[in-house]
Every structure is written in structure tokens, then in C-alpha cells.
Amino acid sequence: MNAYANMSAPPRSNVHVATHPVGKQIVFNMQYAGLDPRLEEHQTMQEKAVLAQEWIADFARKHKAELDAVSRPMGFMIGRSHVSSDDAIVCEDPILTVAVLGRVSRLLYIPRRELGWHACLVGASICFPAKYFPQYCGASGRARSPSAPKGETT
């Protein structure tokens, strides 16, 4: 008997695949959220990584209770590096931005990952489906379209 013939137990996992994003996307970017770890262009990638890691550790210490309380997706997600501005909502919440970006590896969101940071995330934008962030689906007043002027919410 081979492994393919073992049908004695039902599967335990469900896999849902969406090849194209449907609906609005939330854009996570440190600058959009007003976060600035003060990295300079002349610094090496290693120096930036160390400074970014120290910055996120300090931010996490200062805002531990808020970061623990934030509602965030509990499943794995594969993000996108860009979406059209018509389908995007910018996350301006610094706590949610750190809670999500701190658990990202490239474009993969890993929910149980300890908060960590990479210097490459400082200028990067990562988009995830808005349906996983209900605080932005309603009239929260903290979300805006990337094409909208700063301060104008959707």
C-alpha cells in the first residue's frame, strides 16, 4: 500500500486559493502610518537591519499592551507588493502596521511569528485583502485612498 491509497481518515485542513484579489486591499507602509526608524541612505544594509531591529524592539516595548490587543488576521496570507489606487486603502494606524509588518516574511504574513523587522520593509508597501481587517471596512475614519490627500479619509 502506498501513501496515496491511505484514505482511512478525512483531511484536517482546508485550502482556499484566490488567484486575483477581490475587493479592496489594505496597504501597509511605515511612512503612511507615520513611523520613522531614521535609517539613512549611506548606511550599509547590515547597519540598517540592526537599527531597524532595535527600533522595532523599542516600539514593541513601549506599545506592548496595544500590540497584544490589536485585532489582526490569524491565518497565513500572501500579500501583494502593489495594487491599483482604486482598490487600495492606506492603513494609517501605526500599531496595526507594526503588528502586521512585524510578522511578514517577504510577502507572507505568518500570524504566530514573533515581532521582527527587516530593513527592506522600511520603504516597502505590502497589501492584504481588506476583508481581514474589519476595522477598515466600516467608517473608522483612519483609512484613506493612496491617491487622496493626507488627512482625507474614505
Contact 133, 126 (CB under 8 A): no
Neighbours of 14 (CB within 10 A): 5
Residue 4 confidence (pLDDT):
59
Q: What residue ranges do the domains of the chain occupy?
A: 22-144
Please give the model's pTM, rounded to 2 decimal places.
0.69
Please state, in angstroms and rounded to a whole number, the distance separating the CA atoms of residues 148 and 88: 11
Helix (H, G, I), strand (E, B), or coil: what is residue 21? coil
Query: Among residues of the chain, what percentage have pLDDT more than 70?
Result: 75
- Dump pLDDT digits (tens) for 82-133: 777 777 888 888 888 888 888 888 888 888 888 777 666 777 788 888 888 8
DSSP 8-77: SS---------SS--S-EEEE-TTTTT------TTS-HHHHHHHHHHHHHHHHHHTHHHHHH-----S-E
